[in-house]
Amino acid sequence: MDQWSNVTFEGSRFKAPVGAPAHQALVDAFQPQNLELSNCYFVGYEGEGGELRTRGLLIRGGLNISVRHSTFEIMAGSNSFILSNGVQFIANRMTRVREGVQFKGGGNILIESNRFDNFQPFLGDHPDAIQFFTAGLTNPTDLASHDVLISGNLIIAADQSQGIFLADQNSLQSSGRGYKRIAIRRNIIVGAVWHGITAAPVDSLTIVGNRAIRQSGRDVRGNRITAAGREVILEDNEASEFKIAQSVRNHGNRTLGPLSAQRINAVIAEWTQANHVQ
Greater confidence, 194 or 206?
A: 206
pLDDT of 218 higher than 80: no
In the structure, what pLDDT confidence band is assigned to residue 150 with cuts at 50, 70 and 90?
very high
For the chain, the maximum distance between any two Cα atoms, rounded to a whole number of angstroms, is 52
Distances (CA, A) of 118 to 98, 146, 247: 9, 29, 37
**Neighbour-count burial of 44, counting CB atoms closer than 10 A to its CB (0-12 exposed, 13-18 middle, 19+ buried):** buried
User: pLDDT for 172-194, tens place per residue?
Assistant: 999 999 999 999 999 999 988 88
Predicted pLDDT at 219? 66
Confidence of residue 278 (pLDDT cuts 50, 70, 90): low
Helix (H) or strand (E) holding 7: strand 5-10
- pLDDT (tens digit, 9 = 90+) per residue, 41-74? 999 999 888 889 899 999 999 999 999 999 999 9
Beta strands of 91-134 (E only): which ranges? 93-97, 101-104, 107-112, 115-117, 128-133
Closest CA to 79 of 96, 97, 64: 97
- Looking at residue 267, its pLDDT comes to 94
pLDDT of residue 185: 98
* Residue range 5-275 in CATH 3.40.47.10: no
% of the chain exceeding 90 in pLDDT: 77
**Average pLDDT, integer, range 76-84:** 91
> With 0-12 CB in 10 A as exposed, 13-18 as middle and 19+ as buried, what is 268?
middle
Strand partners, 28: 58
Would you place residue 220 in the very low, low, confident or very high pLDDT band (cuts 50, 70, 90)?
Answer: low
Q: What is the three-class DSSP state of 152?
A: coil
Give the pLDDT score at 2. Answer: 87
Beta strands in 12-76 (DSSP E): 13-15, 25-30, 33-38, 41-43, 45-46, 52-53, 55-60, 63-68, 71-75
CA–CA distance, 37 with 25 (Å, rounded to integer): 15
Q: What does each C-alpha distance from 186 to 90, 133, 170, 190, 211 come to in angstroms?
A: 15, 22, 29, 13, 7
Each residue of 110-129: b (16+ CB within 10 Å) or e?
Answer: bbbbbbbbebbbeeebebbb
Provide the pLDDT for residue 20: 87
**82 with 61: CB under 8 angstroms?**
yes
Confidence of residue 217 (pLDDT cuts 50, 70, 90): confident
Mean pLDDT of the chain: 93
Q: How far apart are CA 184 and CA 196, in angstroms?
A: 12
pLDDT score recorded for residue 123? 73
Q: List, for residues 97-118, the tens digit of each pLDDT value.
A: 988 999 999 999 999 999 999 9
pLDDT score, position 277: 77
- Predicted local distance difference test score (pLDDT) of residue 49: 81
- The pLDDT, as a whole number, for residue 47 is 87
